[in-house]
Amino acid sequence: MIERRKPSADFRLVIVNEKAYVEKYNEPYQTRDVFTIWGILQLLRLYPGKVQDLDLLFFYGDDTVIKRRNSKGRYAALAPPVFHYCGEKTALDIVFPDWTFWEWAEVNIKPWEETLKAIKKGRERIGVKKVNKVSSILNWKINVPIGIYMQNPFSSPPYGSMTLLIKPKYYDFFSRSMVPMQHYWPSRRKNKCRDLKFAVEWGNNHPHEAQAIGKAGSKFVEETLTMQNVYDYMFHLLIEYSKLLKFKPTIPSKAHRVCAESVACLQKGLWKDFMVQSMVKSPSHKLPCALPPPYEPQAIQASLDTRYKITRQVETWKTEYWNKTKP
């Protein structure tokens, strides 16, 4: 199956006896491949001897690549296990942490641990700044991603501020743990400006609730979205994947060995600096977190229903607000 599905992937990663081998098929955008592989190498350093042999395909483009419509009926058994940075309802891509957790030097985004420290340090230095009214001299900068895939929405937020999240088409590995009106304010892809204006009005009229959402979002980032949890997610994902393999992984003839030292030696400037910052310095003194039992279908559906009801309630508020403000 792996060989048959190479056209769906950009590189192949094989781990045999704790050593990693890569066979690359396509050139990446910027250094997505380098730092995705770098992240996996750090996992091997963090939990030596724990990651089992495996053979996987990875796609580092923006859009999802394995569509459900092409994997039904007699084609279901041919659905390739392709790893990717995001997923969606209509796709079967296996969701993996994106490269920005280790760096995005092209836009000067540091490794996630350093970014989180900087966000918290900025909060302590600047304190809380409130803007209750829109001023004619206040410039608003609204950054709506124009690419298909949006990276971590918390990569550079003002610490403690309420996050306004435009309804994403795609999800990453942690976003489904977030609850609207608990961790963020939901906004529609259409009518973004109207939704933003109402969100500001709502926040001005409900300052305590808005502050609670901001604090909960920041707490999620600080306590849940840690690199330890990122690595544990990667570990369990790869372990569960390796259990499903029905063959013994072997080193492809065109693959080359990669290790942290050899990858880092090829980098210069910010890229090398960020690698040094994100390098795992020593093995973990404790085991990965225990994997909880899988959710029952009813529990998953109940969670989805709750999110839908909350989002619909916010949309109802928006509609009522604009109906009242009609001239």
The reported pLDDT for the residue numbered 138 is 39
Q: How far is CA 126 from the centre of its chain?
A: 28
The reported pLDDT for the residue numbered 3 is 72
Its sign, for the CA torsion 221, 309, 209, 170, is positive
The reported pLDDT for the residue numbered 2 is 74
Q: Which two tokens stand for residue 235?
A: 């570990």
- Alpha carbon distance 70, 29 (integer Å): 26
Bridge partners (DSSP) listed for residue 11: 24, 58
pTM of the model: 0.86
The reported pLDDT for the residue numbered 126 is 45
Pick from 258, 184, 179: nearest CA to 214 = 184
Yes or no: say if 275 and 111 are a contact pair by the CB < 8 Å rule. no
Yes or no: say if 280 and 45 are a contact pair by the CB < 8 Å rule. yes
For the chain, which ranges sit under pLDDT 70? 1, 4, 74-80, 122-160, 327
Q: Which residues contact 17 (CB under 8 A, 6 or more apart)?
A: 53
The reported pLDDT for the residue numbered 230 is 97
- Alpha carbon distance 277, 203 (integer Å): 38
The reported pLDDT for the residue numbered 305 is 95
Q: What is the pLDDT of residues 285-308, one digit of tens each?
A: 999 999 988 889 999 999 999 999
Pick from 215, 88, 241, 93: nearest CA to 162 = 215
- The domain spans of the chain are 3-103+226-278, 132-150+153-224+296-324
